[in-house]
Amino acid sequence: MNPRRPRRGRPGGRLALMGLLWLFLAMGGGWAEDEGTPYGPEGTVCREPVFLQLGRPAEPHPDVQGLQSRLQDLGLYDGPLDGLFGPETAQAVRRFQQTAGLPPSGMVDPATWTALADGVVLPVAAQPTEAPPGPLSIVIDVNERTLTLYSAGQPYKSYPVAVGTSRTPSPVGEWLIVHKDSGWGDGFGTRWLGLNVPWGIYGIHGTNKPWSIGTQASQGCIRMFNRDVEELYRWVPLRTPVRIVGPTPDLAFNRTLQPGATGADVVQVQLRLKELGFDLGYADGRYGPQTEAAVRELQRFYGLPEDGRVYEDIYYVLGLKRAP
Amino acid sequence: MARISTNGRQGRALLAGLGLLVLMGLGVALWLARAGPTVRVGEVTIDPRAPINPERTYRLILWEENVVLSGAGTTYRTFLEDRVEAFREVHPNVTVEFQLLPPGEAVNRLEGALASGQPPDVYGSLSPRLFDRNYQVPVDAFLPRARDGEPHFLPAAWEALTADGQVWGWPRWIRFITWAGRRSLLAGTGLDVDQAAQEGWTFPQALASLAQAGGGQMPGLLVHPQEPELVRSLMAAGGHGLMLQEGSLAWSQDAIEEVAAFLVAARQQTRMPRNLEAAARERVARFLQGRVGVITPVRPELAAHLLRTVPREELVLLPPPRPEGRPFHVPADLAAYLVFRQTPYQGDDQTRLAMELARFLIQSKDAWVSSQFPAVPALLSDQALWQREAPWPEATSQALLRWAEAAVTPSLDPDEAAVLRQMDDQVLAPWLARLWDEEAPSAWAAGLYQALLDQVPEPGG
């Protein structure tokens, strides 16, 4: 026997292994799929800067804009709400720190965030407060900035949320809650509900910036008041479906998609296929066997070359690309 | 006298008996006229005039094959939900449970349900067949008599659903398989585009025009080179039907050769790209960008997309061309609602109500669905509504009505449909792949003809 000859496994075994891997990834897998990063606050794309200070971050940042807005409400800042941490903002932070009994460093640190949040008057909590009875699902409307909990297909309770900015949009699509955790701290508030988004660690979480709720402020995650996310955390089990609806992201749609592909473009293809009545399960950004079968059906219906892949004409007939 | 007297009594008795017989005959005739004919379905005899009990609660099951509405601003599910709700407002004692079946699964689901005797009451089909005589209920006896003897439906649609003297579904619309052209790129090629749209065009006209499309600076024609519909539609346009005729091959070798010669000439004369496979994947993009004169075959769903995205003055829908000197034929498909009974039989009133649901669904709003495609509603009374809703100019409506008169529709025989599918996959598609580099279409035609004969017999064979 040639020892260098590669071993050839049984195809059935390979398929089974691939199937298990697919299932693992589809469930979130406990890891971020893109880089193999361990699951946790360090790996999430929604990680917010803990410290803000003069010139940092260098670019306009929604957290700085939120800070400016908060300081304005407190009567400590009357500069522009431009998201840039300039001298005026730093001076306003110093003034706030003095009134809060903190060292007037002009730098926003965890203690300053906490103090800023302390004075925020939250809106009255919505009703009901009893646990919902039926199978649960969640719809997050990016335009309305609301999270609605459904029980047995009926709206049960709505909560205000903060969503991603236009540069860091929340992931539109159909997800599952695959991770529940607490104690991530700082910008993640008191609870974390992780979603199985394949291109990064996104989730629904609490916040230390309650003034941002109702705005486009996050890096793509869904922020809630800590009080609300704690309630939701108690009620929703793992595998609860979460549908995020919002505007079509500004994508080029210029790559050929085939089984194994992941991404926001895959989500858009899946959503359009579902609108046309093709059944493919969740629009979860993973180009799996159901998506491939649906694309084949579409190709057959439209009389296009049938290969189960999304090529240029498919983007056109789905309305994702338009002629100039 | 006594004899006479006896005869007189007998005569009176005979007269009275005859009178009684006449009265009974009249009674029976009146009863028959009132009751009307019955319909036999499997072991069940159905009275089409059975009354619907307003006190009883009915439950109807409706299955539909999904209609892909491209860019119509709504989904077919939403549309159907509204229609079902509207029916419930008219019949508050009826619950309609509907399921929209994914394409590709629908017919298998129906056949499975028929095998267990549990088909839905009503089935919305995009390729209606006479699935099972034991369960499928013919609809003609349930049709109210038309005033003045005028037909209710497009004759072509009604005939397409007729087999053995009975009609096996409520027709919804006839849709067409087209060649889509850009008017500006066909201008100046010698083709009267409007006339071609109305009356059809011939192979020589098509070749001459497509060779000059866009000033001869771009492909005149792009095809899906392995799509069986390409050959089938040209054969149908040439008057050779949809391949089968009562289970036998309806195509002759000469007819196949005629079409093959046309396609090979089109390949050589219309500047089709070298790599047809790759070009087929960007047919739609090129057409939308104005970089090709005509694309084909264009199924109704694709045509619906073009109707929504190409300016209405620019898009021209043409029937497949035909050999010179042949009558006008246009390949088409049909949609219909089919009605079934179940085992155990649910009663004549249930069947009558299922017919009412199907009749309700084909009316008025259904014309809106047919206006989303190059299609004509089957219900004649809805044609005005269809013309108002249609996204195309009046001339196109007139052309489509003309096409409807010349429509070639598939057979109702489910076995024939299965054979056609098999022939598409196993014979036509692989043979088409070899056509495009052929120097001698006659050899290709002989080979394809033999391959087809290996699968189905010649007429009378």
Distance (Å, rounded) from C-alpha B64 to C-alpha B68? 12
User: Quick one: average pLDDT of A246-266?
Assistant: 95
pLDDT band with cut points at 50, 70 and 90 for residue B37:
confident
Q: What is the pLDDT of residue B151?
A: 75
* H helical segments located in chain A: 11-26, 62-73, 87-100, 110-118, 226-235, 264-275, 289-302, 312-317
Distance (Å, rounded) from C-alpha B321 to C-alpha B331? 11
**A121 at the B interface (CB within 8 A)?**
no
Distance set, CA B197 to CA A131, B221, B237, B391 (Å):
64, 17, 13, 16
- What would the pLDDT profile of B332-388 be if each residue is shown by its tens digit? 999 999 999 999 999 999 999 999 999 999 987 888 888 889 999 999 999 999 999
- Per the CB < 8 A criterion, the answer to whether B230 and B433 are in contact is no
User: Quick one: average pLDDT of A69-83?
Assistant: 93
Helix (H, G, I), strand (E, B) or coil at B418: helix
Q: Which of B313, B301, B319 is nearest to B393 (CA)?
A: B313
Distance set, CA B323 to CA A158, B245, B262 (Å):
66, 21, 9
Chain A hits for B226, CB-CB cut-off 8 Å, are 305
Instruction: For residue B332, give the amino acid letter.
Output: A
Chain B hits for A303, CB-CB cut-off 8 Å, are 224, 227, 229, 297-299, 301-302
CATH architecture of the domain B58-175+333-408 equals 3-Layer(aba) Sandwich (3.40)
Q: Do B284 and A322 lie within an 8 Å CB cutoff?
A: no
Token digits of residue B240 = 């050779």
Q: Say yes or no to pLDDT of B31 above 80.
A: no
Mutate to test the interface with A, among B64, B65, B70 (most CBs of A within 10 A): B70
Distance (Å, rounded) from C-alpha B76 to C-alpha B66? 7
| ipTM confidence | 0.87
Q: What is the separation, in whole angstroms, between the first and last Cα of chain B? A: 79
Fold of A136-245: L,D-transpeptidase catalytic domain-like (2.40.440)
A41 upstream amide cis, omega within 30 of 0 = no
The partner residues of B223 in beta bridges, in order of sequence, read: B296
**A323 at the B interface (CB within 8 A)?**
yes
Q: Say yes or no to pLDDT of B238 above 90.
A: yes
Q: Say yes or no to pLDDT of B246 above 90.
A: no
Burial class for B124, CB neighbours closer than 10 Å (0-12, 13-18, 19+) = buried
Task: Return the ∠ at Cα B395 (arms to B394 and B399), rounded to 5°.
Answer: 120
> What are the residue ranges of CATH 2.40.440.10 in chain A?
136-245
| Ramachandran assignment for A165, one of left (phi > 0), alpha (psi -120 to 50 degrees), beta (any other) | beta
Chain A hits for B301, CB-CB cut-off 8 Å, are 301-303
Q: Do B288 and A316 lie within an 8 Å CB cutoff?
A: yes
Distance (Å, rounded) from C-alpha A243 to C-alpha A197? 11
Q: Say yes or no to pLDDT of B448 above 70.
A: yes
H-helix or E-strand spanning residue B249: strand B248-249
What are the backbone dihedrals phi and psi of residue A119, each rounded to the nearest 5 degrees, phi first? -85, 0
- Per the CB < 8 A criterion, the answer to whether B75 and A277 are in contact is yes
Chain A hits for B305, CB-CB cut-off 8 Å, are 302, 316-317, 319
Q: Say yes or no to pLDDT of B35 above 80.
A: no
Minimal CA separation from B281 to chain A, in Å: 6
- Per the CB < 8 A criterion, the answer to whether B296 and B201 are in contact is no
- Per the CB < 8 A criterion, the answer to whether A277 and B76 are in contact is yes
Instruction: For residue A219, give the amino acid letter.
Output: Q
Q: What is the pLDDT of residue A119?
A: 80
Helix (H, G, I), strand (E, B) or coil at B93: coil
Neighbours of A15 (CB within 10 A): 11
**A277 at the B interface (CB within 8 A)?**
yes
Token digits of residue A117 = 């949040």
Q: Do B102 and A277 lie within an 8 Å CB cutoff?
A: yes
User: Quick one: average pLDDT of B411-431?
Assistant: 92
Minimal CA separation from B282 to chain A, in Å: 5
Token digits of residue B248 = 């036998």
Neighbours of B163 (CB within 10 A): 16
- What would the pLDDT profile of B94-151 be if each residue is shown by its tens digit? 999 999 997 678 899 999 999 999 999 999 999 999 999 999 999 999 987 666 667 7
Q: Which of A264, A244, A246 is nearest to A255 (CA)?
A: A264
Active site (annotated) includes residue A221: yes
**A75 at the B interface (CB within 8 A)?**
no
Minimal CA separation from A139 to chain B, in Å: 19
Q: What is the pLDDT of residue B4?
A: 42
Distance (Å, rounded) from C-alpha B157 to C-alpha B170? 9
Give me the percent of chain B exceeding a pLDDT of 70: 91
**A301 at the B interface (CB within 8 A)?**
yes
Extents of the domains making up chain B: 58-175+333-408, 178-330+413-455
Greater confidence (A17 vs A263) lies with A263
Q: What is the mean pLDDT of chain B?
A: 90
- What would the pLDDT profile of A214-241 be if each residue is shown by its tens digit? 999 999 999 999 999 999 999 999 999 9
The yes or no reply on domain B178-330+413-455 and CATH 3.40.190.10 is yes
Token digits of residue B376 = 């004509």
| Ramachandran assignment for A207, one of left (phi > 0), alpha (psi -120 to 50 degrees), beta (any other) | beta
Token digits of residue B418 = 């299965």
Distance (Å, rounded) from C-alpha A66 to C-alpha A70? 6
Q: Do A277 and B100 lie within an 8 Å CB cutoff?
A: yes
Mutate to test the interface with B, among A254, A271, A276, A318 (most CBs of B within 10 A): A276
Q: Which of B327, B296, B318 is nearest to B198 (CA)?
A: B318
The partner residues of B61 in beta bridges, in order of sequence, read: B97
Q: Say yes or no to pLDDT of A177 above 60.
A: yes
Give me the percent of chain A exceeding a pLDDT of 90: 70
Q: Do B103 and A303 lie within an 8 Å CB cutoff?
A: no
Minimal CA separation from A300 to chain B, in Å: 9
Q: Do A297 and B69 lie within an 8 Å CB cutoff?
A: no
Domains B58-175+333-408 and B178-330+413-455 are alike in CATH topology? yes
- B307: nearest CA in chain A? A317
Rg (CA), chain A: 23
- A317: nearest CA in chain B? B305
Provide the b/e sequence for A103-133 (b: ≥16 CB within 10 Å). Answer: eeebbbbeebbebbbeeeeeeeeeeeeeebe
Rg (CA), chain B: 27
- A272: nearest CA in chain B? B70
Q: Do A323 and B283 lie within an 8 Å CB cutoff?
A: no
Q: Do B102 and A311 lie within an 8 Å CB cutoff?
A: no
Q: Say yes or no to pLDDT of A13 above 50.
A: no
What distance separates the 2 farthest-apart alpha carbons in chain B?
Answer: 114
Provide the b/e sequence for B380-407 (b: ≥16 CB within 10 Å). Answer: bebbebbbebbebeeebbebbebbbebb
- Per the CB < 8 A criterion, the answer to whether B205 and B181 are in contact is no
Q: What is the pLDDT of residue B29?
A: 54
Q: For the whole model, what pTM was predicted? A: 0.85
Q: Do B77 and A300 lie within an 8 Å CB cutoff?
A: no
User: Quick one: average pLDDT of B273-293?
Assistant: 96
Q: Do B68 and A305 lie within an 8 Å CB cutoff?
A: no
- B290: nearest CA in chain A? A323
Provide the b/e sequence for B56-66 (b: ≥16 CB within 10 Å). Answer: eebebbbbbbb
Chain B hits for A319, CB-CB cut-off 8 Å, are 70-71, 305
Active site (annotated) includes residue A205: yes
User: Quick one: average pLDDT of B163-192?
Assistant: 95
Distance (Å, rounded) from C-alpha B430 to C-alpha B437? 13
Question: A296: which residues sit within 8 A by CB, 6+ positions away?
Answer: A306, A307, A308
Query: From the list B288, B289, B297, which residue is nearest A303 (CB)?
Result: B297
Q: Say yes or no to pLDDT of B33 above 90.
A: no
- What would the pLDDT profile of A95-136 be if each residue is shown by its tens digit? 999 999 999 999 999 999 999 998 888 888 888 999 999 899
- Per the CB < 8 A criterion, the answer to whether B124 and B335 are in contact is yes
Q: Do B280 and A301 lie within an 8 Å CB cutoff?
A: no
Instruction: Write out B67-78 in H/E/C secondary structure.
Output: CCCCCCCCCHHH
Query: From the list B77, B103, B305, which residue is nearest A317 (CB)?
Result: B305
